[in-house]
Chain A
Amino acid sequence: MNMILVIAAREFKTQFLSPLAWTILAILQFILAFLFLKQVETFIMIQPQLATMDNAPSLTDITVTPLFGIAGIIFLLVTPLLTMRLICEERRNKTLSLLLSAPLSNTEIIIGKYLGSFGLSALIVLLITIMPLSLLMGGTLDFAKVFANILALLLLTGAFSSIGLYMSCVAESPTVAATSAFGAIFLLWILDWSTGLTDKPSELFKYLSILRHFQNIQSGLINTLDISYFLIFISFFIMLSIRRLDKEHLQK
């Protein structure tokens, strides 16, 4: 456990030594702040109509949910960039042998790397959360719903990171890792689209689609099915990554 944290801490800090992490943080924050302000403006504009409606959407529904929804889409683009170097660059720079000849198990290496990279995503989620919290100065928020959104986004980025990590284990170069991770995530994202085309949507595709589970949790319907989908997803790709690293010293 201790070693996992050592690797995770190193990985987390190393990300900030390259301009990539800073650039991503800055751009994300800028885009999302813009969107957030747009949503707040919308709310102010339609507020008089909302007052006359029964069961009207609340401030949280109009600002927080779309903000986190868009953040999910942006993570779809950004996570592959954050995870692409994890194993692949170490292998390329021949630094992987440092980890392989240290008294560590491959499980520790992979989980450490995963947590280090997930840490940055979690930090981004935290920064996004601060925006709606600023509304507390003049309004009220539905905290249960805010929490559901945070949980949904964390699970989503966790799943994205795990797939990115696996691609980084498999691929020869970071670019290939990022491209394949993006392809895999995007495919899972759009699987749901095909289900709307026919009268009898495929239950399997419906279950596999990551978007559906994300939106379920986001809407506040936190149930075991959706949570376990993400947890199984994450453990599956972490296990695949460990297996891939195990094979590292078998072949060349």
Chain B
Amino acid sequence: MTVLISAKQLTRYYGKHCAVNKVSFSLARGQILGFLGTNGAGKTTTLQMLCGNLAPSSGEILINGFDMLTQPKLAKRSLGYVPDTPPLYKELSVDEFLRYCAQLHGVPKADITAAVQLAEQRCGLSEVANRLIGVLSKGFQQRVGIAQAIVHNPDVIVLDEPTVGLDPLQIIEIRRLIRELGQEHGVIFSTHILSEVQEVCTDVMIIQQGACVLNARIDELPAEKSLETIFIDLMQAQ
């Protein structure tokens, strides 16, 4: 298994407040890592650091073997990121927007149309390809956000709470998509829904007040305890 992400001793301060404290983990191809934590635990900060949107106060991030701090361009090449608010240009159509994203990620000109079509197909966007993003429903916008992250076929896909605000059917679809993506890519996603992690992920990581309190394979977790009990136990232990 190739290691796609290796994060070592990640730390981030906002002023004096320590948002993330010495978090280390790694991710290999074929793994889906569920990232759990209460509000303000440091999930989004960690993901932002992984994707080069935020510089860590200390620590090291290797994406596909490239250091995010010293070789950001090469590291970002293998990365697709869906932030908690999907970055969408509302005045563009889905097609235009995805084309632009593909260009930004250096997809060769000849392959762009195929790449955009594939991403639209995978995210169920083919029917709305020519509509403006601004007029789409939230669920569709969320899907465009995901399509944007997979259009250049990156090795690592990072999703920050991808199922927030979606209806139950859409949630099921997005989970199916994540599982599908996990087969050939490495996927990290953060969520509040514990059952989602149990259902979709191969690995789980829980952080609390910026520190990692659990990092394990789902099938290694004690079978008699549900993830929910484990989570609540860990939170109360603090």
Question: Which residues in A have some Cβ–Cβ distance to B below 8 Å?
Answer: 3, 6-7, 10, 14, 17-18, 93-105, 249-250, 252
Contact (A252, B101) CB under 8 Å given A97-B81, A104-B73: no
The reply to whether B55 and A249 contact each other, CB–CB distance below 8 Å, is yes
Is B216 interfacial (CB 8 A cutoff)?
A: no
Provide the bound-state CA to CA distance between A93 and B90, in Å.
Answer: 10
Contact B104 A102 (CB under 8 A): yes
Encoded as 1 (CB less than 8 Å from any A CB) or 0, chain B from 79 to 107 comes to 10101010111111000000011011110
User: Any chain A CB within 8 A of the CB of B11?
Assistant: no
- B83/A94 in contact, CB under 8 A: yes
Contacts of A97 in B (CB 8 A): 48, 51, 53, 81, 83, 87
Q: Which one, A3, A95, A252, contacts B88 given CB within 8 A? A: A95
B52 contact from A17, A18, A101, A252, Cβ within 8 A: A101
Tell me the B residues contacting A by CB distance below 8 Å: 14, 48, 51-55, 72-74, 76-77, 79, 81, 83, 85, 87-92, 100-101, 103-106, 148
Complex: how many Å from CA A142 to CA B51? 56
* A250 lies within 8 A of B55 (CB): yes
**A127→B148 CA distance, assembly (Å):** 37
Q: CA separation between A95 and B87, bound complex, in Å? A: 4
Query: Beyond A3-B106, A98-B101: 7 further Cβ-contacts under 8 Å?
Result: A6-B104, A14-B91, A95-B89, A98-B104, A100-B53, A103-B72, A104-B76
- Provide the residues of chain A in CB contact with B83, threshold 8 Å: 94, 97
| Shortest Cβ gap from B81 to chain A (Å) | 4
> What are 19 A-B pairs at a CB distance below 8 A?
A3-B106, A6-B100, A6-B104, A7-B104, A14-B92, A18-B91, A94-B87, A95-B88, A95-B89, A96-B87, A97-B48, A97-B53, A98-B148, A100-B51, A100-B53, A102-B104, A103-B73, A103-B104, A252-B14
Is A101 a contact partner of B54 (Cβ separation < 8 A)?
A: no
Residues in A with CB closer than 8 Å to B92 are 14, 17
Closest Cβ–Cβ distance, residue A93 to chain B (whole Å): 8
Asked whether, in the complex, the Cβ of A101 is within 8 Å of the Cβ of B79, the reply is: yes
Docked-complex contact A6 and B55, CB < 8 angstroms? no
Q: In the complex, what residues of A have CB within 8 A of residue B90's CB?
A: 93
Central interface residue in B72, B73, B100, B104, by most chain A CB within 10 Å: B104
- A249 cross-chain contacts in B, Cβ below 8 A: 52-55
- Complex Cα–Cα for A112 and B37 (A): 38
- CB of A99 within 8 A of CB of B91, answer no
A17 to chain B, nearest CB (A): 4
